[in-house]
Amino acid sequence: MSSAVSDGTAGRQTAEMAAPGERSGGGQSTGCPRAVKSWWRLAVLLLSVSSLPAVSALVEGLYCGKEVCYDVLGVTRETSKSDIARAYRQLARRYHPDRFRPGEPGLEGETQESAHTKFLLIATAYETLKDEDTRRDYDYMLDHPEEYYQHYYAYYRRRLAPKVDVRVVVLVTICAISIFQYYSWHSSYNEAINYLMTVPKYRIQATEIAKQQGLLNRTKEKGKNRRSKEEIREQEEEVIRDIIKNKIDIKGGYQKPNLSDILLCQIVLFPYYLTYYVAWYASWVYRFTICREEYGDEEKLYIIRRYMKLSQTQFDRLEESTKRTFLDKQLWIKENFEVYRKEQEEEMKVKMATDTRMKRYRRWMKNEGPGRLTFIDD
């Protein structure tokens, strides 16, 4: 029995040792070696890649599509721009829908539809080659067909780009804003003059100037030259109006508009203004910080205006007596200005507390309020 067991064990070992040999055997085995399988997969991959269509520079939807624009016009890449235009005109005369005649020499087999399609292709080829930048992009596409996505980007970027120079658009916009700005200011100025004619201060001042110049001296008129009272009054009003516009110094928001204030002139004169400000600031630092000079009235008013956070136009609207009060109180000194500001706030509070309109409003808010209704019996 032990002999049989030994024979069985030896038989299984022999079979296990023979199995690898049989799997590695050539034609006697049903399997394939690993190396043969690897080479076979590589060969299949190469065959698949080689069966793909080659990359072409002629893409449908770009320029002339599958046609070469040079071949469409019958020219070469070395042809000059003038020769390309001449070739286009010759072909356009033959294939234009209005001039096409079926059966003409050289147009055998062409129909109205095919001639129209070819004319569009000829026009596309000419539009591509007549522009230097577009022609450069097209030649690059012919030389580098593998850069597929870049060709699409260059083509549609140029087609979708605005045809008008952006600088021209900006200039026209600035000019339009400047014109509107000037006429708007001029209209506001005329309205301000009409208002100032009703202000006693300016009207009396203008009337005195007119009398001194002899513009309001009424002379007796007889016969046909005699004018009515309405005509005389209209003439006097016009005289007063002209004097207020030209003779009286009006500052602030009522001053006459200047061309230098519009946007276009401000942009043109910006280098000058910048240079002027830098020079003024350097002079200010040198005079009052380094040399310790005393402030003049102009410098004092400038400091006061900065403390009040007013623009030059707003500050010019103030009366001269008010500005003189600022100088008398030495408001260019920070401590004095803070005291003045607090005094003004207190005065405003007292004024609001004693104002009858404010009292009526507070009484209404206390008794009725904005959300209540009061009915009054007849």
Sign of CA dihedral 363, 367, 373, 376: negative
Residue 252 has a pLDDT of 53
Residue 54 has a pLDDT of 41
Query: Along the chain (378 residues), what's the average pLDDT of each consecutive run of 10 residues?
Result: 42 42 43 54 52 53 88 92 92 84 72 87 92 90 85 81 76 92 85 82 82 69 65 82 72 67 90 93 93 91 91 81 91 92 88 71 58 40
- Together in a domain, 116 and 198: no
Please report whether residue 267 resides in a domain. Answer: no
- Together in a domain, 151 and 183: no
Residue finishing a domain among 135, 158, 181: 158
Residue 325 has a pLDDT of 92
Please report whether residue 8 resides in a domain. Answer: no
Neighbours of 154 (CB within 10 A): 19
- Please list, in sequence order, all residues whose beta carbon lies within 8 angstroms of the beta carbon of residue 79, skipping any fewer than 6 positions away: 70, 87
Please report whether residue 331 resides in a domain. Answer: no
Residue 368 has a pLDDT of 55
Rounded CA-CA distance 329/336 in Å is 7
Please report whether residue 252 resides in a domain. Answer: yes
Q: Please, is 172 exposed, middle or buried when counting C-beta atoms within 10 Å of its C-beta (0-12, 13-18, 19+)?
A: exposed
Terminal Cα-to-Cα distance of the chain (whole angstroms):
138
Nearest CA to 252 out of 212, 203, 196 is that of: 196
Rounded CA-CA distance 375/378 in Å is 10
- Together in a domain, 153 and 169: no
Please report whether residue 71 resides in a domain. Answer: yes
Rounded CA-CA distance 212/220 in Å is 19
- Together in a domain, 144 and 182: no
- Together in a domain, 107 and 171: no
Rounded CA-CA distance 244/190 in Å is 11
Structural domain tally of the chain?
Answer: 2
Please report whether residue 213 resides in a domain. Answer: yes
Domain that holds residue 115: 67-158
CATH code of the domain covering residue 115: 1.10.287.110
- Together in a domain, 196 and 151: no
- Together in a domain, 151 and 193: no
Please report whether residue 294 resides in a domain. Answer: no
Please report whether residue 154 resides in a domain. Answer: yes
Residue 233 has a pLDDT of 81
Tokens of 103: 């059966």
Does this model's pTM top 0.85? My answer is no
Question: How many residues are listed for the chain in this entry?
Answer: 378
